[in-house]
Chains A and B, each alone.
Chain A
Amino acid sequence: MPQQVIPSGAKPKLAVYKFSSCDGCQLSLLNLEDQLLDLVGAVEVAYFLEARKRELPPPYDIALVEGSISTPEEAERIHKVRHDSKFLVAIGACATSGGIQALRNWADVAEYNRLVYASPQYIRTLDTATPVASHVFVDFELRGCPVNAMQLLELLSAVLVGRKPNIPTHSVCIECKRQGLPCVLVSEGKPCLGPITQAGCGALCPACARPCYGCFGPMEQPNIDSLGARFSEWRYSPREMKRMLRLFNGYLEPFKQASDHYERLEQKQ
């Protein structure tokens, strides 16, 4: 984490940007109710349209970018954001993987447009929804749909003091075991994506007695093939496997490659 990001003496300037998204990750910042007033004391909120009208001119020391790039206008604007920002963090599944709207990347967007809009000629959109890192250099990526507010706070604190943020890249299983939750996969035979999904949520789904659906995206080097073999023993079809992988992080490797593999198997059947 580059120490030179924050100029000494001055309050670091924070900018928060939204692209194609639901606002949930920005909201996670506002959901730090106990720390919010301290946070706005520690940084200068220079650009954050969800929270304030006033804008300070760039450059910004830290930029949080929510959302994927899905329109021609956004594909231009993200370069301006990069230009204006010293340390750019992509926050959430849309910004780090393309998000749920990246399902269009496997579809005919013209057909989608005709189906959803009465006058498709009014709509300007790209054929793909892609992560920020497909367009500009990104200094850090924070996963999750939505991001975990405590991980966001950890990230901001780390950048402010110039250390590496402590964001684990191991699987949800580790979090789940630490909480002593019964394994929904082994003991109940539910199709849990926990073994291949990055930690960060706190194993919320197993705690709610349901299988993980992968909203933090793939862990480091997941063994998707092995999990898929187990699921197919339980008679989950390649089509169902594909569907499970193509959700909020479906366009992020290696979920993308694995879902394409199951699609080929589905088509052979």
Chain B
Amino acid sequence: MSDSNKNSERTIRVGALARVEGEGALHLSMRNGRVEQVRLEIYEPPRFYEAFLRGRDFREVPDITARICGICPVAYQMGSCHALEKAMGVFDQIDPPIRTLRNLLYCGEWIESHILHMFMLHLPDFLGYESVITMAADHGPVVKTALKLKKLGNEILAAVAGRAVHPVGVCVGGFYKAMEPARAQALLPEVRSALDEMCNLTLFLAEKIEYPDFERSYEFVALCPENEYPMNLGRIRSNRGLNVDQEEFGQAIEERHVPHSTALHSIIKGRGAYMVGPLARLNLNHEKLHPRAAELLPKVCAAVKRDLPWRNNFLSLPARALETVHALAPAADILERYQPPPRPFVPITPRAGSGGHGTEAPRGICWHHYRTNADGTIASAGIIPPTSQNQMTIEEDLWQLAEQITDLADDQACQRCEHLIRNYDPCISCSVHFLKFSRSFDGEPAPAR
């Protein structure tokens, strides 16, 4: 790392790992019914991944970065693998069947993570339950079907890479061992029937839920490959003209460290906040959905009474449902045609180099950058996870929402704010009750933490 860009790289690092999951607090300051300040505080214990990655062997990195998040370990593994393959000069040599198997692995993670978020964490907000546990009493069949689909996502992960949480089969260059064809054959009928069930669940979510009116003008940012819905590859684009190569993404954004959070706020240089995640992916890539998801799209748009592009992130729920259909459909195609790759991984000779790459984690772009030494050890590492990129947009959303809920009691206002934040499926949504909510009116000082 050269001294001249040390500060900017340092900034990128910060955003990364403080917000992987954690606790937050929200304080709204109001004067005369108008919002004066929104402070979304996030205090996740720092774990210093980018510091202790230095000196590790590049082959250890996907195992280590997986541990950043137990819910989307594949996203961290894929970011690490692609970026390190660039650093090692083998990115263009990865065999197409290896890329296909990586897509199948990612389908498993999208299914598992999207179902967990939609049905265990987010849907209770829309239907007025405190948790999926109480929701299950009234909506047993929906919850049971969702659990079955979540299990199937985990089974795909286990079949391709050994286990669902922190898979062991992934390596820089490919896989330690290719999935056995028998595993693919065993999964295929389950995936096919799950696809039909997920289509029904998608229509259920579109038709049975009243989505709040909450439109804003967002800059949507997502990977945009030429011929497929984004997962592992593609240039990074937005609806406002951002169009950069993967390597350049780190220079296109800047992150600011604010005193009220261990997290940084990401902005696009010279513009401002932006949104990553399912709504951004769908708005920018809907014409590339798998035909099974594409045929559902007009029905979903009609049911929610809004055409694309959707500028309302409460619609991230049906967007995730469509993406789950999209993940199941290519998974079935890949399993049906599966032949083990001729070689499971591409051999790599360590070298000094650098590489940056982002993939589409279930909750949005997760971007990695590494520099390596000649012996293959890591010289520097920087990771920008999706939640850090959405945080400023979440605060702007809260700013608008706060003015609509000044008449509500604190517990109801808190619930509305939590619901809005969960639209982003932030890793902090793992703790359903993460908000310590407080408000002050007409210039009272905000309570000290």
Contacts and interface: CB of A to CB of B under 8 A. Distances in A.
Contact of A36 (B70, B147, B171, B433): B147
B419 to A, nearest CB: 11
B116 A30 contact: yes
B51 A31 contact: no
Contacts of A115: 10, 13, 50-51
Contact of A145 (B166, B257, B434): B166
A53 B131 contact: yes
A233 interface: no
A182 to B, nearest CB: 12
A50 B46 contact: no
B17 A116 contact: yes
B431 interface: yes
Contacts of A96: none
B57 A204 contact: no
Nearest to B150: A33
Interface string A137-159: 00000000110000000000000
A27 B112 CA distance: 11
Contacts of A130: none
Contacts of A215: 166
Contact of B257 (A20, A36, A117, A207): A117
Contacts of A53: 130-131, 432-433
Which of A26, A33, A146 gathers most chain B CB within 10 Å? A33
Contacts of B262: 117, 122-123
Interface in B128-147: 130-134, 136, 143-144, 147
Nearest to B44: A20
B430 A23 contact: yes
B165 A27 contact: yes
B434 A118 contact: no
B165 to A, nearest CB: 4
Contacts of B70: 21-27, 146
Interface stretch (A2-10, A56-64, A100-108, A251-259): A100-108
B20 A116 contact: no
Contact of B14 (A52, A104, A118): A118
B52 interface: yes
Contact of A20 (B47, B71, B176, B430): B47
B48 A116 contact: yes
B366 interface: no
Interface string A79-94: 0000000000000000
B392 interface: no
B291 interface: no
Contact of A54 (B47, B130, B175, B431): B130
B343 interface: no
Interface residues of B, number: 68
A186 interface: no
Contacts, number: 188
Contact of A119 (B168, B176, B257): B257
Interface string A223-252: 000000000000000001001000110000
B169 A208 contact: yes
Contact of B144 (A31, A37, A45, A240): A37
Contact of A123 (B46, B63, B171, B433): B46
B111 interface: no
B48 A112 contact: yes
A45 B46 contact: no
A66 to B, nearest CB: 9
A112 B51 contact: yes
Interface string A199-227: 00100110111100101000000000000
Interface of B: 7, 10-11, 13-14, 16-18, 20-21, 43, 45-52, 56-57, 60, 63-64, 67-71, 73, 116, 120, 130-134, 136, 143-144, 147-148, 150-151, 154, 161-166, 168-169, 171, 175-177, 257, 259, 261-262, 264, 427, 430-434
| 9 nearest CB pairs, A to B | A24-B70, A52-B131, A49-B431, A112-B51, A209-B177, A33-B151, A118-B257, A103-B52, A101-B47
Interface of A: 18-28, 30-31, 33-34, 36-37, 40, 45, 49-55, 70-71, 73-74, 99-101, 103-104, 107, 109, 111-113, 115-119, 122-123, 125, 129, 145-146, 201, 204-205, 207-210, 213, 215, 240, 243, 247-248
28 contacts: A20-B47, A21-B70, A22-B68, A22-B73, A23-B21, A23-B430, A24-B166, A33-B154, A45-B133, A49-B434, A51-B131, A52-B133, A104-B52, A107-B52, A109-B48, A111-B51, A115-B10, A115-B13, A116-B17, A116-B51, A117-B10, A117-B18, A117-B46, A122-B262, A146-B165, A208-B162, A210-B176, A248-B67
